[in-house]
Amino acid sequence: HTAPLFGKTTLTYIGERFKSEFYLNYNSKKEWDDLTPGEQSKTHIYTEDGTPAWLTLNIKSSYQINKFMQLNFGIENILDVHYRPYSSGISAPGRNFIITLRGNF
């Protein structure tokens, strides 16, 4: 089977000590009639319309505190969209907050 159009589009800012990345993950709709008969038999994965389109907004940033320490933070799926990656049958996580303190010694 052929997956619908999907991808990731990123806008990145890189400063001297700060880096930020805003990105979209997306997947287009695939109509029921466009699914192969083998895929149409998987009613537990697809809706009667096929697969819905989805889009998530995400941001990740990092700040270099000094040459040994870096702070990373981000928010994934900012709008808390309910979606399933194509053909997985498993719902993806909702909004996700990430905070990391990284040390190099």
Residue range 53-64, pLDDT digits in tens: 999 999 999 999
Mean pLDDT of 11-35: 92
Average pLDDT over residues 19-36: 89
Q: Tell me which amino acid residue 23 is.
A: Y
DSSP state for residue 87 in the 8-state scheme: T
Single out the residue of 62, 40, 36, 57 nearest to residue 49, CA to CA.
40
What pLDDT score does 1 carry?
65
- Structural contact between residues 23 and 9, judged by C-beta atoms closer than 8 angstroms: yes
Q: What is the DSSP letter of 33?
A: G
Question: Is residue 76 predicted with pLDDT exceeding 80?
Answer: yes
Question: Could you tell me the pLDDT band of residue 52, with boundaries at 50, 70 and 90?
Answer: confident
Q: What is the mean pLDDT of residues 18-42?
A: 87
What is residue 7's predicted lDDT score, i.e. its pLDDT?
96
Other beta carbons within 10 angstroms of residue 89's beta carbon come to: 11
Classify strands 50-51 and 54-64 as parallel, antiparallel or unpaired: unpaired
pLDDT at 49: 76
Number of Cβ atoms within 10 Å of the Cβ of 78: 14
Does the pLDDT at position 46 exceed 90? no
Q: What is the pTM of this model?
A: 0.81
Q: How far is CA 44 from CA 14, 35, 47, in A?
A: 43, 14, 8
